[in-house]
Amino acid sequence: MTPILEVENLKKYFYTSRGVLHAVDNVSFRMEKGTTLGVVGESGCGKSTLGRTILHLLDSTEGKILFKGEDVTHVDRKKLGKLREKMQIIFQDPFSSLNPRMSVSETIMEPLILSKRFSRNEMEKLTGQLMETVGLAERLYHSYPHELDGGRRQRIGIARALALDPEFVVCDEPVSALDVSIQAQILNLMQDLQEERKLSYIFITHDLSVVRYISDEICVMYLGQLVEKSPAKELFLRPLHPYTKALLSAIPIPDIHQKRKRILLKGEVTSPINPKPGCRFASRCMYATEQCRQEQHLQEIENNHFVACNRVTEIN
């Protein structure tokens, strides 16, 4: 079966007055239809840039993006419009991602209008159906974003993303701005929609508890590069990269009698501007050698478990 998405050696660089910022650097992965790929890492590691580059909200510097086996790395304006009907995004902030001058129905209807495929009656009917699908009451049809809470605003964003029946959705920290109780509601809604519509998600977050709950596979990013990729359960049971271990050690345990040894990272964070070859985590890694500072490659250590560490077999 052809994967729904394949990314090969994807790079996204930004040119600054200080040099070249390597936001996404040589990232490769593939994901199957109907699955969720979690992307985690600390703020500034390139998670959101990766998602936006895949969707062509940012132009890639190098590499290939294949959607359902077709190379969509470079597409013209007409083809991009068709592609975006099948590839959508749910933004992090449910308030700033909505136009305050547009009502709930106008926001959800906007993609339908832009597609130029539906009559007015059809668009109104579809808008009502989408509102019902995501749990928005009919009485909110003419409401505006400032009149609603964060959970309802994010439901508007989800309905807008689903308007043209996409197959693939980038979820850019869709619950990080919401209260914990509302987070659970939105996550459950997204899982129900995935099952009903056979959706494929890239779920970007820095919350490891959330990504464990929703993901089939997880990619761990550090300063623009993938350092580990594996099935979600295996990553939490047997993390192999020192950075992944440090991240997992920071997850709170809801049991006062159970102690977890916290791994505190020391050393200076490598600059993503004009970085040197080698492992970018080396300056903070207790196991780093001179070879680590010279080269680093993502390698398959076990079945479908990839790690970018020269000493992975020695330290595990």
Over pLDDT 70: what percentage of the chain? 99
From the number of C-beta atoms within 10 Å of its C-beta (0-12, 13-18, 19+), residue 177 rates as: middle
Q: What is the mean pLDDT of the chain?
A: 92
What are the pLDDT digits (tens) for 56-80? Answer: 999 999 999 999 999 999 998 889 9
Q: Which domains does the chain have, with CATH numbers?
A: 5-238 (3.40.50.300)
The pLDDT of residue 176: 86
Strands of the 225-231 sheet, one edge to the other:
87-90, 168-172, 200-204, 36-40, 217-222, 225-231, 305-307, 299-302
**Could you tell me how far CA 222 lies from the centroid of its own chain?**
14
Helix H or strand E segment including 184: helix 180-197
What are the pLDDT digits (tens) for 138-167? Answer: 999 999 999 999 899 999 999 999 999 999
What are the pLDDT digits (tens) for 230-270? Answer: 999 999 999 999 999 999 988 877 776 777 778 888 888 99
Tell whether pTM > 0.85. Answer: yes
The pLDDT of residue 266: 87
Over pLDDT 90: what percentage of the chain? 71
**Which residue in this structure is represented by tokens 């990272």?**
265
What is the mean predicted confidence (pLDDT) over 93-98? 88
In this structure, the dihedral spanned by the alpha carbons of residues 130, 133, 135 and 141, taken in order and rounded to 10 degrees, is 20
What are the pLDDT digits (tens) for 173-192? Answer: 998 878 888 888 999 999 99
Q: For residue 1, what pLDDT band results from cuts at 50, 70 and 90? A: confident
Q: Which of 138, 155, 141, 131 is nearest to 102 (CA)?
A: 141
CA dist., res. 71 & res. 66, Å (int): 4
The pLDDT of residue 188: 92
Q: 275-289 burial by CB neighbour count: b if 16+ within 10 A, else e?
A: beebbbbbebbeebe
Cβ–Cβ contacts within 10 Å for residue 15, how many? 9
Q: For residue 280, what pLDDT band results from cuts at 50, 70 and 90? A: very high
